[in-house]
Amino acid sequence: MIKFIGIGVIVICVFGGFIMSSGKLAALWQPSEMLIIIGAAVGSTILGNSLEVLKEMKHQLKAVFAAKKKNSESDGDIYRELLTLMHHLLDEVRLRGIKTLDEHIEAPSQSSVFLCYPTVAEENPMLLTFITDNFRLLSMGKISPHEMDTLLEGEIDMILEDKLKPAHALHRTGEACPGFGILAAVMGIIITMQHLDGPLTSIGVHVGAALVGTFIGIFLCYCLLEPAASAMQELVMKEINLLQCIRATLIAHIRGKMPLLAVDAGRKILEPDVKPSFATMEEWVTNRAM
């Protein structure tokens, strides 16, 4: 919702200010200029990126503008379930050994453990894959905390680089939009030059239409595409923060920490606005055990 409020503020202030300055909105309606600029922006984005990046861009944009669930606890579900799931898995390892997780990590969709945490198991495949892959790695043999930390750091860096590609692509398109606006404006001036023998009012209309092209390009860049790219990047960083939480938990486990303290190491990695207190986290895992 807040994203739509931001767009509303932009539209009201930009176009409202134009109207207050005695401007006429009809003068900004230039379909040919919009076709040139938007077409060039879309075409260059398609040309410069792979199909996978374009699909991920669509997915991330949808996530940025998606309405959040109405239930009061929905925002914290992923953090509660992730911390509780990690404690559950580590507790199983403490009680029965690492090999007891084989049946869960090999088929998480049928696991009695993972099915208890649908937000992680069903709605976040990246998290699920990261958890199962690295618990599988732990079960294959002894590994030092330093080795595990290095492996996880490299994996997270690769995921981050891949996940940021759509935001970077949209950022590049946004940066190019003022140039596309100039392209449309130059073409408008060329058309104007063809009407120099006409009345001054006709020349003014054509010049105004050409300048609208520059306006559209700048508006798309700084009011829409660049903020959207920043929002996509913020979304990705929140997802990566969850992976860092898992990383810290696993490293603490390898160093011999009990499950609660290992999960607390992951809790401390979470961003301040979503990080639960230790008491809250302890209540979560205690209620799970009950």
Q: What predicted TM-score, i.e. pTM, was given to this entire model?
A: 0.86
Question: Does pLDDT of 93 surpass 80?
Answer: yes
Higher pLDDT, 102 or 180: 180
Kindly tell me the sign of the dihedral angle through the C-alpha atoms of 111, 77, 62, 158: negative
- CA atoms of 34 and 91, how far apart (whole Å): 59
| Long-range interactions of 91-94: CB distance < 8 A, separation 24+ | 91/259, 91/289, 93/253, 93/259, 94/258, 94/259
pLDDT for 103-134, tens place per residue? 888 888 888 899 899 999 888 899 999 999 99
pLDDT for 50-76, tens place per residue? 999 999 999 999 999 885 554 434 456
- CA atoms of 124 and 243, how far apart (whole Å): 11
Say if CB 145 and CB 257 are below 8 A apart.
Answer: no
Q: Which two tokens stand for residue 122?
A: 């069903």
**Average confidence (pLDDT) over 238-261:** 95
Helices (H), the chain: 2-20, 31-48, 51-65, 77-96, 102-106, 118-121, 125-139, 145-193, 200-219, 226-254, 259-267, 278-289
Residue 67 confidence (pLDDT): 59
**Average confidence (pLDDT) over 254-281:** 94
* Stretch among 155-159, 203-207, 228-232 having the lowest mean pLDDT: 203-207
